[in-house]
Amino acid sequence: MVSMSQMRSKGFTLIEILVVIVIIGILATMGIGKYAQFSRDARKSGCVNNQNTIDKGIGMWESKYVAFNLKAGSTDPLSVKFKMNGKKWDMKGKFPGRFAATSSGKEDEVYNQIQDETVFVCPESANSFGGIDNITVSDKDANSDYKWFMYARNTAQETLDDLGGKLRGTGCLVWGTIAESSTRNDIPGGDKSTGPSGTDEDLHSGKVASGT
């Protein structure tokens, strides 16, 4: 015959159940925080990869046509923005004529070296749209997430903070030290000193700019 004490030992008390629920809740909260951090880090890593790919695309263009040059004493750096569809625009400085031209399909010349439109979209932008597939053609044609620079060799170091101390490279216009105030409601936009988490560790390009 089974005694009452043996029957009781097969179940859990209310206190035991509550303790388990509390522990699960704590673990879940910790997991959600870690997941958010990992997700944010992954988007930052994807953005940095995009910047490097754009740099390589411009390098491939140069090797195919003509290299960019700046005089050592130049105070006029080169810069070009890329729309989210890969088209180049808003060029500053004295680029070679072929690169500067955007007629007759030449606005796609860097894109043609890369052949991947997603490279020109910051993962933070894609996330704000709920996925890159939700970004419309008109959005891609109207907005820019990346800007490429080239500075002369004697440029002051503080000027190069936007590129992490490099003389040439790409920066993120969404969450970077070259971030621009955005009129788009779909992305929060950066403030040149902090990234998505509110710290400078999550900047997508360069270092914290001096004076910001």
Q: pLDDT digit string (tens) for 108-163?
A: 999 999 999 999 999 999 988 989 999 999 999 999 999 999 999 888 888 888 88
Question: Per-residue pLDDT for 205 more than 50?
Answer: yes
Which residues, including other chains, have CB under 8 Å from residue 170's CB and lie 6 or more apart? 50, 51, 52, 54, 55, 146, 147, 148, 149, 205
Backbone angles phi, psi at 210, to 5 degrees: -65, 135
Q: pLDDT digit string (tens) for 35-92?
A: 667 788 899 999 999 999 999 999 999 999 999 998 877 778 999 999 999 999 999 9
User: Hey, how many other C-beta atoms are within 10 angstroms of the C-beta on 55?
Assistant: 15
Question: Per-residue pLDDT for 6 more than 60?
Answer: no
Place of tokens 């809740």: 25
Checking phi first, is residue 153 left (phi over 0); if not, alpha (psi -120 to 50) or beta? Answer: alpha
Contact between 77 and 152 (Cβ < 8 Å): yes
Tell me the residue length of the chain.
212
Which pLDDT value is given to residue 212? 45
Q: How far is CA 169 from the centre of its chain?
A: 14
Determine the residue type at 53. T
Which pLDDT value is given to residue 128? 87
Which pLDDT value is given to residue 196? 85
Backbone angles phi, psi at 78, to 5 degrees: -90, 145
